[in-house]
Amino acid sequence: MSNSVRVSGSLRNRLAITLIGGAAILAILLFFVVRAYAAQIAQKGQDSILGASATSILDAAVIRNGSVEVDFPYSAFSILNTPSDDRVFYAIYRDDRLLSGYELLPQPFLQNGAQQTFVTTKFRGATVRLTRASRVLVGENLRTQVFVTVAQTQDALSVTLNRISRNVALFGVGFFVLAALLSFWATSKTIDQLTRLTTSITRRGPQDLTPVSKPVPAEMVPLVASLNTLMDRLDQSLQRSEDFIAEAAHRVRTPLATVRSYAEATLQRVSKEENRQALRSMVRAIDESSRAAGQLLDHAMITFRADHLDRQDIDFADLVTDLVRGLTPIAEMKDVGFDLQCDDSVKVSGDPILLQNAVRNVIDNALKYSPSESVISIFVRAAPTACVVISDQGPGFPVDQISQLTDRFTRGDNAMGIIGSGLGLTIAQDVATAHGGALHLTNLTKGGACVTFSMS
């Protein structure tokens, strides 16, 4: 029985998406912040040159013979050369009067005390960065203020900004890719913990309900604690079931044992034939109930265990030998002999309890149907596959019903008078199937039934 667990989302995906999403947001934020910062710096670069230009013009302003002369150097404008050939505009004012330069060039207000200011504005349809500086000139009877305004388009600045944007974007993408990779790695490492826990639990045997003892990360402690509690409860529950079955068996069988003993004892003292027959029938009935109970318990156990085989490496030959030894006293009572032949070592991987149960049931069957003073042959082979072949010298299987004999509770027509519940072969077949093997029923040419229990 395998549970298909319903899937809702994925921890790995959620973690990865969160981390990557965060990285993406950070990368974008980084892009804008760096770009803004770079823009600021680039602007400062342009401003410092504009400022120098205005200053050099301003420095050349002198009062000569009562008039203002501004013989500014060639360098005042040559430093404004840019790779994008930005346009240049300027205006020189004396108080409110334009001395030279471009008319209508915006004249931003200079705060009290400030000697220079920078603004971005529009002139003649182009966006320009503009600086305005002033100086007070003092002459003999003269005091005048000179204003110099220098403006420059921002093509070169735009080119720089674009280049910076592109580089920052590339850098951002690189950072994002790196962060994404890091996210995947971090996610894997974290999910690893879960995977390791899963592996250690999966590797346990089917009977292993011991609590998880390996140390786990703090966040997984509640989960593992719950798991341990669950396994503990399950273990207790299983234990209780087993105890219940044992208790039930005991309570049912002990009175049966008592009745049987008395019946046997009574049979000793009774001589009338019909009384004898009655007592014999009683004993037979008790035996049948007991056997039925035993087989029902076996069957239930097999059904439970078949899903989680407790596979161990065992020697099939040893297992069958032990079994035969345990059954020999019973066989002896009927003067039936066992002819046991095993290959040297028959290594199989299987559940020893189930295998013993199955083989025991088949041999039991053979014993039931073997006439007195006959032989039951048991061969344990390793090749071609590990198997045990049990043949008796009884009446054999009813030919037309062979396929149904392994159905539950089906008994052949030749089973009259023989105690059994019919689960024997079913149990053997279930065990064989659970191990990936099979049960074959045939009749021997010289008479008798043959059952082959193979492991694969």
Partner 1 sequence: MRYFFYVIAVLFAATPLVSKAQGWEEQNVFVSEAPKRVLRVISSTDTSFFAPIIESFLTENPDTSVEYLVTSTALLNAEFRQNADAYDVVISSAMDLQLKLTNDGFAQKVTGLSQPEWAEWRQSLFAFTTEPAAIVINRKAFEGRRVPQTRQDLILALRARPDIFRGRIGTYDVRSSGLGYLFATQDARISETYWRLMEVMGGLETKLYCCSVDMIDDLADGTIAVAYNVLGGYADARPETSDALQIILPSDFPTTMMRTMFVSRTTKHPEQARDFLRHVIALQSGTVDRDVFPLPPLISEQDEIRQSTIGLGPALLTYLDVLKRDTFIKEWVSAIIQE
Partner 2 sequence: MKFLLIEDNIQLAHAICSRMGFDGHVIDHAATIRDARAFSATEDYDLILLDIMLPDGDGRDFLKHHREGKKDTPVIVLTARSQVSDRISILDLGADDYVTKPFDHAELEARVRAVLRRRGGVSQTVLRVGNVEFDPVAGTLVVDGTALQLRNRELRLLELLINAPGQIFAKQKLVDRLFSYDDDVSENAVEVYIGRLRKHLKGSSLSITTLRGLGYRLEHE
Q: Which residues bind partner 1 (CB under 8 A)?
A: 69-78, 80-81, 83-90, 92, 99-101, 124-126
Give me the residue label for tokens 């590990």. 386
> Interface residues for partner 2 in 339-378 (CB under 8 A)?
353, 356-357, 360, 368, 372-373
Closest to partner 1 by CB, 99 vs 297, is: 99
2, 4, 65, 268: residue in contact with partner 2 (rule CB under 8 A): 268
Contact 144, 70 (CB under 8 A): no
Residue window 293-332: x/- pattern of binding to partner 2, with contact defined by CB under 8 A: -x--xx--x------------------------x-xxx-x
> What DSSP state is assigned to residue 60?
T
Closest to partner 2 by CB, 164 vs 415, is: 415
What are 20's two structure tokens?
């990557």
The DSSP code sequence of 369-408 is HPPTT-EEEEEEE-SSS-EEEEE-SSS---GGGGGGTTST
Q: How far is the CB of 292 from partner 2 (least distance, A)?
A: 11
Phi, psi of 53 (to 5 degrees): -60, -50
- Return the range that interacts with partner 2 (CB under 8 A); candidates 53-61, 225-233, 261-269, 434-442: 261-269
Name every residue whose Cβ is closer than 8 Å to that of residue 148 and which is 6 or more positions away in sequence: 54, 57, 58, 61, 70, 90, 91, 92, 93, 132, 133, 134
Q: How far is the CB of 345 from partner 2 (least distance, A)?
A: 20
Q: How far is the CB of 102 from partner 1 (least distance, A)?
A: 8
Name every residue whose Cβ is closer than 8 Å to that of residue 197 and which is 6 or more positions away in sequence: 212, 214, 216, 220, 224
Rounded-to-integer distance, Cα 409 and Cα 13, Å = 53
Residue window 58-97: x/- pattern of binding to partner 2, with contact defined by CB under 8 A: ----------------------------------------
Which one of partner 1, partner 2, none is in contact with 69 (Cβ closer than 5 to 8 A by kind)?
partner 1
Q: Where are the alpha helices (DSSP H) in 306-412?
A: 316-333, 352-369
The DSSP code sequence of 10-27 is -HHHHHHHHHHHHHHHHH
Q: How far is the CB of 100 from partner 1 (least distance, A)?
A: 4
What are 438's two structure tokens?
């099979």
Which residues are near partner 2 by CB under 8 A?
246, 249-254, 256-262, 264-265, 267-268, 271, 276, 280, 283-284, 286-287, 290, 294, 297-298, 301, 326, 328-330, 332-335, 353, 356-357, 360, 368, 372-373, 417-419
